[in-house]
Amino acid sequence: MADSKFCSERQKYVEDPRIACQYGAKCYQKNPVHHQKYKHPPSKKRIRTDTENDVKRIKRDDVKKDADVELPENHSKTADPDLNTDKSDLGYERNESNEEVTSSNEDVPKTRTAKQFDPANFIKQKFLVDMPSDFYAFWDFCKGLCRSEPENALKDVGLQLVGPYDVLAGKFYNIDEPPEADYLIHWRYFYDPPEFQTILKGDDKTGFHIGYFRDSPEDLPVFLASNCSKTDGILKIVGDNIFAAVSIYLDDFKKTGDPFKKMHVSKFQSTLKNKAEELKLSLSERTAKIKERDRKIVSRSFNKVGIIVPYDRKTQTGYRDLGVSNKSLTKMLTNIQKALPEQRPKFLSELQSVLTNASIATDECDFGTGIELGLSILAHGVDSLDKTIARFLASNYRLIGREAFAKIAEAHMKNRRKETNLSIIK
């Protein structure tokens, strides 16, 4: 009889004209808007049919697997799953060099990357994103400056081409194949969000670097931004192409850089501007494209550039306010970061309601809220909440179809480092 009922339900599912939910029978969303749009298959192995109980079960499982902070012993059993009492689980375990402790792969035979390959395809396959035309045009420009080592063509002004440019430089040809996740942290600095891809590094003392920023892994970048990883997680927009970003950097360099090098900067900048004009690229800091993006921002996270997620204004589905001011959230995270061991449970308890609100928002299809929370914690810099960042970002990115960003967030939070030598190439 059970099989007969299942077959009947399965037939109804097949004939249902609605879109099939990508999470199938495992989906636990209870928002009616979600169920009006998507269909879900029947399952012979339903543990519970009550959606609310299923959500609680999933959250309890998450606590056992990867909760990363500590609560006092007398904390309520109904506490948010992002907080638990395991003192050994304050972030991912690392060794003395601040690298992630993983299982040994020493016995696994090493494979080599190809001796030659198409760089654009390799970048898409390994870094999970496509690079824009100005990325390749700038490489050609640098080859005109330094044929033997284009990546070092800007060394006199304190810049080096890194990240995906290492592919163009041939540094990934015929080397021991790194783990797939390692490509996603190649030159990924401490505060870098998944939307950010480093392509230029500067002064190691400040951790200065420049990268492309895109709102979806399937889209080309909207702008470039700079960050000083030794200072904070704030991103500064520096134009919508790399020629503009470098020109803006040179403007600052002429004000504060080495006086013996300044004499070469003006000539170099003139050459750069001529090439940008030839390519019809703007050297403005904020172009019409960037201003158009500003109108789509649903919220400003701590990194200051804002987030863009699918949002239906009619049903107000896709994003809701975190329910706490930036000032209050900053204070909570700062207290956690600075707390003595005996003080930390108290401050973690104060964060409880914020995490709970973000979890409820995810349950009700407001996925942008969890992304905002994850990005804000990331930009703040508290490093005992790496797992919390990974969980909120990865789950919500996946629910809006940004799988590449989910993978980047997980890889980064497993090996998040404050240092500035972040190449994975040995």
> 81 pLDDT exceeds 50?
no
Neighbours of 268 (CB within 10 A): 17
- 159 pLDDT above the threshold of 60: yes
Provide the pLDDT for residue 38.
Answer: 72
Chain-centroid distance of CA 382 in Å reads 16
Per DSSP, helices labelled H in 98-224 are: 119-127, 133-145, 165-168, 180-183
pLDDT tens digits, residue range 194-217?
999 999 999 999 999 999 999 999
Does pLDDT of 137 surpass 90? yes
Mean pLDDT of the chain: 84
Share of the chain above pLDDT 70, in %: 77
Which stretches within 67-199 are classed as H helix? 119-127, 133-145, 165-168, 180-183
Domain boundaries, the chain: 1-46, 119-287
Per-residue confidence (pLDDT) for residue 13, from 0 to 100: 66
R_g of the chain, CA atoms, integer Å = 24
What does the alpha-carbon distance between residue 301 and residue 316 come to, in Å, rounded to a whole number? 19
Tell me what the mean pLDDT of segment 287-311 comes to. Answer: 95
pLDDT digits (tens, 9 = 90+) for 85-100: 333 333 333 333 444 4
pLDDT per position as a tens digit, 14-30: 677 777 776 677 676 66
Residue scoring higher pLDDT (337 or 18): 337
Q: What is the pLDDT of residue 31?
A: 67
Q: What pLDDT score does 276 carry?
A: 98
Q: What is the pLDDT of residue 409?
A: 98
Task: Count Cβ neighbours within 10 Å for each residue of 70-106 and write b for 16 or more, e otherwise.
Answer: bbeeebeeebbbbbbeeeebbbbeeeeeeebeeeeee
The pLDDT > 90 percentage for the chain reads 69
| pLDDT score recorded for residue 104 | 41
pLDDT class of 108 with cuts at 50, 70, 90: low
pLDDT at 295: 95
Q: What is the pLDDT of residue 280?
A: 98
For residue 346, is pLDDT > 80?
yes
Residue 49's pLDDT is 41
Find the catalytic residue in 364, 403, 410, 419. Answer: 364
According to the model, what pLDDT value does residue 182 have?
98
**The predicted structure's pLDDT at residue 11:** 63
Angle between helices 386-399 and 367-380 (to 10 degrees): 150
Residue 64 has pLDDT above 80, yes or no: no
Please report which confidence band the pLDDT of residue 41 belongs to, taking 50, 70 and 90 as the band edges. Answer: confident
Which DSSP symbol is given to 107?
Answer: T
* Predicted pLDDT of residue 17: 75
- pLDDT at residue 340 above 50? yes
Residue 178 has pLDDT above 50, yes or no: yes
The answer, yes or no, to whether residue 299 has pLDDT greater than 70, is yes
Distance of CA 169 to CAs 39, 139, 143, 164, 189, Å? 48, 9, 10, 9, 21
- Whole-angstrom Cα distance, residue 51 to residue 58? 11
* More confident position, 407 or 301: 407
Q: Is 278 a catalytic residue?
A: no
pTM over cut 0.85:
no
